[in-house]
Amino acid sequence: MGFLDVEDLKVYFPIKGGLFNRTLGNVKAVDGVSFSIEEGKTYGLVGESGSGKTTTGRAIIGLNDITAGKVSFEGKDLTSKKSKTSAVRKDIQMIFQDPYSSLNPRKRVLDIVAEPLRNYEKLSKQAEKQRVGELLEMVGLSPESILKYPHEFSGGQRQRIGVARTIALKPKLIIADEPVSALDVSVQAQVLNFMQDIQKELNLTYLFISHDLGVVKHMCDDIGIMYKGRYVEQGTKQDIFENPQHIYTKRLVAAIPDIDPKNREAQKQFREEVQREYEHSYNDYFDNDGLAYGLQSVSDTHLVALPEKG
Amino acid sequence: METNNVNGQDQVQDTTKSPSGASIFWREITRDKMALISLIFLVLITAFVYGISLFLNKEEIVRVDLFSIHQAPSEEFWLGTDYGGRDVFGQLIIGTRNSLSIGILVTLMTGIIGIVYGLVSGYFGGQVDNMMMRILDFFLILPFLMVVIAFVAIVPTYSVWTFSLIMTAFLWMGIARLIRSKVLQEKELDYAQASKTLGSSNFKIMFLQVLPNVTSLIVVTMTLNLAANIGLESGLSFLGFGFPESTPSLGTLLSYATNPQTLEYRWWIWVPAAVLILLLMLAVRNVGEALKRAADARQRRG
């Protein structure tokens, strides 16, 4: 039994309409996703907008209802209704994408960071204040800022307040939903390096959701690529970046910008080549509905969505 | 090095005292002269009417005295008398008190009901919301005036409390709908979702996370409602469906002006009441605006 196991996870959103508000169909946001994360590792979930990566993360933490499938954390089932309030939730926390809306604008930093502590740990006022001060120091903010409001901080600082709140309960798994995509590049690096630092310090496991392959390459050990609610490829960082098998992954990897201007021509040619291959062999990789096939294993760690042979 | 540390300590101590809501409001109101004047006016008039009315004998004021009908303002009757020979000044004091009491009571009661109803309905959404909104619609389609007229006929003793209750029963829907629509937006925001992942209960999220973010809306609506409720009470009394003449309010005084003779020749009966209604509503509004800015950190002036 692994640390976090997701088996055939499905999250459908009903389309209501017609007479009596019937369910006319489903939007298959996540359609049969399986993966597992080892403790202490960072797992990257990559995909374009609307590919279901955020929904996957939200379903694991319980913000979206799971239609079918199983999520288990350290052997404990998270899918049952009862577990929504159980202490298991304490070990899974989330960093939100938008640092501007994820902090309550009416609360002081003290109240924001202390919120999880007040829910799970009964501390005295003084002890609570001290803990919050320590947490803020950990994320590189001065403890004096505990009485400020979120709007008095910059985006990067706000995201770090969010991180301080997330690590307050010493969780084991953190779901980071595009934690840096709302930040500018200089601050991105700062937040990412900081996340890696606390990962080592607290032995955290990350589920890192992102559309930025550069960031994913920097952060993650294992990567899953999603497209239209399904996995197209899964493997270690080396598998994905050095030996992409699926055409969708190849296009993604080809799209990573190269900062060396000398390679510009070669890069352009490479991209055009991938584009030609994509147009030529689209039908080999996607079924009639434009969805990815089931995963076939290529090596021990590497899974690719290919049609079954024969 | 040491001096630096000492300074750091001082700063910490300075910042540990956070500005309370009241001090923020006070700062806001001193920045706005109109609001300050309005607040002083409101406090004075409230203290005055509630204070003076303790010493006034209501029975004496509303007793008909045929020997002093329609007297102009004099030393005995500061604002003259009406057609029953009743002292207008005394009626004005007690009337203002009654009107203010009703305005405040109705605003508070509709506010509390509306906020809780709107919060629950908006936060849980779905079927709960659907059901609660249909109940609200039922109250909304009841003809307010007709029910009040029927109520006037049924209830023998008409007091500030009973009148407030009947008004509340038909005035809480507006604020409930307003709060609901705002809560529907707010609960989708990341901070409410984050609270869920941090283990806060629905109750906590509703009242501690979402509610503070709708306060500016609540404060503005409630102050405007207060002004409107004072007006509504006066309107109902003016039409004869509010208080009887034995319980004076600003509206009953105003209704004397339906008599063309009074309207044209005996200004002292209705002009003070009309001016007072206007001033009260304006003052309440001004204070409400200052409150609104105080409630929203981004709109503050100082």
* CATH number for position A103: 3.40.50.300
Q: Are residues A243 and A270 in the same domain?
A: yes
In a domain, residue B11? The reply is no
Per the structure, the complete domain to which residue B174 belongs is given by 22-295
Inter-chain contact B213–A101, Cβ cutoff 8 Å? no
Determine the average pLDDT of the residues in B44-73: 83
Interface of A with B (CB under 8 A): 61-63, 85, 89-90, 92-94, 96-98, 101-108, 115-116, 119-120, 143-144, 146-147, 149, 151, 162, 165, 169
Q: Read off the pLDDT of each residue in B121-149 and give the average, rounded to a whole number.
A: 90
For residue B219, which of B269, B175, B273 has the smallest C-alpha distance? Answer: B175
Q: What is the mean pLDDT of chain B?
A: 83
- The pLDDT value recorded for residue A309 is 60
Give the chain A residue nearest B213 (alpha carbons).
A106
Of the given ranges (A41-45, A143-147, B173-177), which has the lowest mean pLDDT? A143-147
**pLDDT band at residue B26 using 50, 70 and 90 as cut-offs:** confident
Highest mean pLDDT among A244-258, B58-72, B124-138, B145-159: B124-138
Based on the fold, state whether residues A214 and A164 are members of the same structural domain: yes
Give the closest residue to A238 by CA, choosing from A172, A279, A298.
Answer: A298
Question: To probe the interface with A, which of B20, B198, B202, B213 has the most A CB atoms within 10 Å?
Answer: B198
Select from A102, A146, A151 the Cβ nearest to the Cβ of B297: A151
What is the least distance, in Å, from the CA of B18 to any CA of chain A?
6
DSSP at B76: S
A230-244, B58-72, B174-188: lowest mean pLDDT where? B58-72
Average pLDDT of every residue of chain A: 85
Per-residue pLDDT, averaged over B134-151, amounts to 88
- Flag if A105 and B12 touch (Cβ within 8 Å): no
> Environment class of residue B59 by beta-carbon count within 10 Å: exposed (0-12), middle (13-18) or buried (19+)?
exposed
Cα dihedral value B248, B250, B252, B257, nearest 10: 140
Residue B137's pLDDT is 94
Q: What is the mean pLDDT of the segment spanning B1-21?
A: 44
Q: Do B12 and A93 touch (CB under 8 A)?
A: no
Q: Is residue B56 part of a domain?
A: yes
Answer yes or no: do A183 and A255 share one domain: no
Structural domain tally of chain A?
2
CA-based angle A25:A65:A74, to the nearest 5? 140
| pLDDT at B164 exceeding the cut of 50 | yes
Same domain, yes or no, for A89 and A20?
yes
Q: Do A120 and B199 touch (CB under 8 A)?
A: yes
Residue B17 has pLDDT above 60, yes or no: no
To the nearest whole percent, how much of chain A has pLDDT over 90? 10
Of A208-222, A244-258, A285-299, B127-141, the range with the highest mean pLDDT is B127-141
Is B15 part of a structural domain of the chain?
Answer: no
Subunit contact B191:A144, Cβ cutoff 8 A:
no
Contact between chains at B12 and A143 (C-beta distance less than 8 A): yes
Q: Which residue has the tokens 């374009």?
A: A48
Mean pLDDT of A151-171: 88
Are A160 and A24 in a shared domain?
yes
**Mean pLDDT of the region B67-82:** 79
Do the Cβ atoms of A101 and B298 come within 8 Å? no
Which domain-ending residue is among A203, A228, A253?
A228
Q: How far are the Cα atoms of A198, A227, B267, B271, B273 from residue B264, in angstroms, in the given order?
A: 82, 81, 7, 11, 15
Angstroms from B173 CA to nearest CA on chain A:
26
pLDDT higher than threshold 90 for residue A106: no
Average pLDDT of B174-182?
Answer: 93
pLDDT in tens, B210-219: 998 888 788 8
Q: What is the pTM of this model?
A: 0.80
What pLDDT, on a 0 to 100 scale, did the predictor assign at position A52?
87
pLDDT of A1: 57
Residue type, B17: K
Instruction: For residue B298, list chain A residues with Cβ-Cβ distance below 8 A.
Output: 151
Q: Most confidently modeled of A255-264, B181-190, B219-228?
A: B181-190
**Which residues of chain B make contact with A60, given a CB cutoff of 8 A?**
none
The whole-number pLDDT of residue B108 equals: 94
Q: Tell me how far CA of residue A205 lies from CA of A42, B237, B294, in angstroms.
A: 6, 69, 43
Give A85's contacts in chain B (Cβ within 8 Å).
199
| Shared-domain flag, residues A93 and A148 | yes
- Residue bearing the bigger pLDDT, B8 or B27: B27
Asked if residue A143 lies in contact with residue A136, where contact means CB atoms within 8 angstroms, the answer is yes
In a domain, B12, yes or no: no
**pLDDT the model gives residue A86:** 62
A46-91: pLDDT as tens digits: 988 888 888 999 888 888 888 888 888 887 887 776 555 566 778 8
Verify whether the Cβ–Cβ distance B16 to A106 is below 8 Å. Answer: no
A206 falls in which pLDDT band (50, 70, 90)? very high
Residue A170 φ/ψ region, left for φ over 0, alpha for ψ in the -120 to 50 degree band, beta for the rest = left
Residue A277 and residue A263 share a domain: yes
Strand partners, B98: none
What does the pLDDT average to over A12-28? 82
Residues B191, A103: C-beta atoms closer than 8 Å: yes
A117 vs B81: which has the higher pLDDT: A117
Which residue of chain A is at minimal alpha-carbon distance from B190? A102
Work out how many CB contacts closer than 8 A connect A with B.
Answer: 69
Testing the interface with B: which of A86, A90, A103, A104 to mutate, by most B Cβ within 10 A? A104
Pairing of strands A68-73, A76-77: antiparallel
pLDDT at B47: 93
How confident is residue A244, by pLDDT bands cut at 50, 70 and 90?
Answer: confident
Give CA–CA dist A179/A191, Å, rounded: 8
pLDDT tier at B178 (50, 70, 90 boundaries)? very high
CA-based nearest distance B5→chain A, Å: 13
How much is the pLDDT for B114?
94
If asked whether residues A188 and A301 sit together in one domain, one would say no
Same domain for A70 and A8? yes
Distance from C-alpha of B302 to C-alpha of B300, rounded to nearest angstrom: 6
Give the end of a domain, one of A228, A263, A283: A228
Q: Are residues A221 and A81 in the same domain?
A: yes
Instruction: Tell me which of B9, B186, B190, B202 to substitute to probe the interface with A (most A C-beta atoms closer than 10 Å).
Output: B190
Query: Is the Cβ pair B195, A115 closer than 8 Å?
Result: yes
Average pLDDT over residues A146-166: 88
Of A63, A102, A116, Cβ closest to residue B199: A116
Q: How many angstroms away from the CA of B72 is the closest CA of chain A?
A: 56
Q: Which positions ≥6 away from B81 have C-beta within 8 Å?
A: B65, B68, B69, B70, B71, B87, B88
Are residues A104 and B193, on separate chains, in Cβ contact within 8 Å? no
> Which residues have C-beta within 8 Å of that of residue B227, sequence separation ≥ 6?
B103, B280, B281, B284, B285, B288
Query: Do A101 and A129 fall into the same domain?
Result: yes
For residue B7, tell me if it sits in a domain: no
pLDDT top residue among B19 and B229? B229
Query: What is the rounded distance in angstroms from the CA atom of residue A92 to the CA atom of residue A171?
Result: 6
Nearest partner of B90 among B72, B76, B100, B101, judged by Cα: B76
Distance from CA of A166 to the nearest CA of B (A): 8
**A192 and A264 share a domain?**
no
- Which among A179, A205, A228 is the end of a domain? A228
Residue B184's CATH number: 1.10.3720.10
Confidence of residue A201 (pLDDT cuts 50, 70, 90): confident
Q: Say if the Cβ atoms of A149 and B297 lie within 8 Å.
A: yes
How large is the C-alpha radius of gyration of chain A? 21
Chain B residues in contact with A107 (beta carbon < 8 A): 209, 212
Which 3 state secondary structure label does DSSP give B200? coil
Domain count, chain B: 1
Q: Does the residue B31 lie in any domain?
A: yes
Lowest-confidence segment of A5-9, B154-158, B207-211, B280-284 by average pLDDT: B154-158
Task: Look at residue B270 and tell me if it is in a domain.
Answer: yes
Name the residue among A85, A115, A147 with its Cβ closest to that of B16.
A147
Within-domain flag for B5: no
Domain span at residue A90 reads 4-228
Percent of chain B with pLDDT over 90: 26
The CA R_g of chain B, rounded to the nearest whole Å, is 24
